[in-house]
Amino acid sequence: MKIVAVCGMGIGTSVLLKMNAEKVLRTLGVEAEVEAADIGVARGMARDAQIVLTSDDLAPEIGEVSAKVIIIDNFFDLEEITTKLKAALPE
């Protein structure tokens, strides 16, 4: 499975999101590749991803993609990331 963490610049928030998503996936025992991306390349990368993680402000910028777009409010809240990822993971 491929997950893309998206932010505006690709060096800050998406990197934090990627790190915490990886932590959560490890705990859940889910095998997935998480990549950080800036909004410019995100659409292309989201094409073969199953899940896109991003923030409220950036979600509309990603546009129509087949991946599930998950909005994270608190990037440090592992519980929030866990709940939202669990709901989006395929059974």
Active site residues: 7
- Using CB under 8 A, which of the segments 15-23, 45-53, 62-70, 81-89 binds other proteins? 15-23
Q: Where are the alpha helices (DSSP H) in the chain?
A: 13-28, 39-46, 59-62, 78-88
Q: Which listed residue (1, 11, 28, 41) binds other proteins by CB under 8 A?
A: 11
Q: Which listed residue (3, 4, 20, 68) binds other proteins by CB under 8 A?
A: 20
Q: Does residue 35 bind other proteins (CB under 8 A)?
A: no
| Beta bridge partners of residue 53, listed in sequence order | 5, 70
**Contact call for residues 68 and 53 (beta carbons, < 8 A):** no
Q: Three-state secondary structure along 43-55?
A: HHHHCCCCEEEEC
Q: Shortest approach of other proteins to residue 91 CB, angstroms? A: 29
- Amino acid identity at 91: E
State which of positions 41-80 bind other proteins (CB under 8 A): 55-58, 61, 73-78
The tokens of 10 are what? 């690709």
Site of interaction with other proteins (CB under 8 A): 7-13, 15-16, 19-20, 36, 38-39, 55-58, 61, 73-78
